Structure 1
């Protein structure tokens, strides 16, 4: 058994580690300078400096060559100034001096001008339309020869074509209205005219023609004759107009009678009750009552059947403007059954009673005591579309 190997085997690990560390330090100390020698630093440059006195410096500067003088800058060309603009405007003409006012010397007494009398101007005579003067026609020197006729009679027959027809009566003016259609008149052929004939005229009996005058104005064409209305058709429109007039008179009489009856009934009721009638209620007063009651009318609490009911309510009022509770009655209704109508009536009754004070922040209705005869009894109509007062 080798004792040396036994001793090494029994060595501690710590001892081994310590030995390795010491060995490394020894090797670093021996070979460290050779392995890790410092790098050589670059040599430091040193400049020699000599000290000069002020006199030596001035002498050195005086001996130094002088630099060439700088070239003088070229002279700039003179700037030519533009000529001043000549004022070509014409001189303003001098305002003419106003001559000094000459004071007129008024005489002590001023002659009074005589009053000018108005010149009576004759009234202008009405203008008369100038009549057209006939144009003179030179006398004919040639005697007209009669047209040769096939027959020669003692009495000449005038030709109808040569003589123009002249209307004896003045023709009526043509109106813009449509003229009635002329009645168709059966034309009859005229009787055959007698054959034209001429009386034998001797040359010695020829008379000179009188100067003819041209017509001064042209005649208007005759209007068509008006259509005659048959006697059988005339009574029909007259009878119809008479019936319409009688019906209109009857209607007016009935309206007047109804108005008089209503006025008499109003006067009788006012005289019987002895209430102050006063003027009728204005539209504003009626709207005030309607708005106040509408604000208190709760339709949302009604059933759908009750909302379709349209009812008329009669309300008697006190003189202070409050409704009399027992007098509120439903006079008629439509649009539902009895149960729905009763429900709608109760809601409307509450609205009338509460409308005096107002609801929803709106004031109640105010009625004029002087018109108590007009609103002592009110008929109110309630329906879903709104409340009407009559």
Structure 2
């Protein structure tokens, strides 16, 4: 563990510093700069109040707290062994452990960092939206600070960090398509994917493969190159399948174990390869109206927010390069369909796809507002009133 930690510090810190110098100017969005502090204070206050009221009521939050304290004790030499942390999920426990080591073992520290992750994610979504269409950054920022991100993002969970890295990867992918600063946006894409991999590897692999392949196809001007890339993808499929089989990634027992680990509510539904289409439908559009009576208001509120963002994103699909955002979102939803065994898991993890769609939803909102303004200016009664006042 010491070797892994030392390697991460030696190799990772310089990479993040250099990458940050390139990426931070991309994230900066003057359109929302005056809202950052107030929004951050709101998220921190809500997170603290939630912790004071109910504590670490989410089972995963208590687990991360224990793992972080174990790591801090191990690094200080107070413990002979460190806690067992699953590969592909170590990013948040290690980050939280470092915070506990230097700032003290208090959940308030992690909650504050998660609040920073949330506001940074909103700023990145605003920047991505600005790339798609000017003057839409504030709309994306407003949509990002919704009850779903406020509730789940201010707990001691890895969700906020995952959202941050996913939004950074999305910004990188869109920026490579829309800007001449390919190097800086490529750095954002890679840092986003690497960070997401350390937080939730299965989702990061699906998202990364989809975004990179989409970019390769999109930036190939010749039809022959596009066909060749598709052919290579098809040819590589057997190798990918063989790897998945060798790692038992689709083994029913492993999937069932993952579903058990992720279960957060008594709201399970059938899963597995045989029921994948039905599970995919539930993850995308569920819970369905007839299921709400047995679930509760929290699920209804999350569903309303998700469907609203989804509808606005569909409305904003006319925007150029919208397809790459949809590709990333579909990749995340598809990966969740393999592991989400209940709505308790789905309502929390589906926010990863929501974060990707925020820039598109802002485009849809802007189009609705523009249409309303156009109707108002072309309304004869409006024109007559304006003339009278003039």
Tell me, yes or no, whether TM beats 0.5: no
Q: Going by fraction, where is strand more abundant, 1 or 2?
A: 1
Q: Going by fraction, where is helix more abundant, 1 or 2?
A: 2
Q: TM-score, normalised by structure 2?
A: 0.14
Q: TM-score, normalised by structure 1?
A: 0.14
Larger Rg: 1
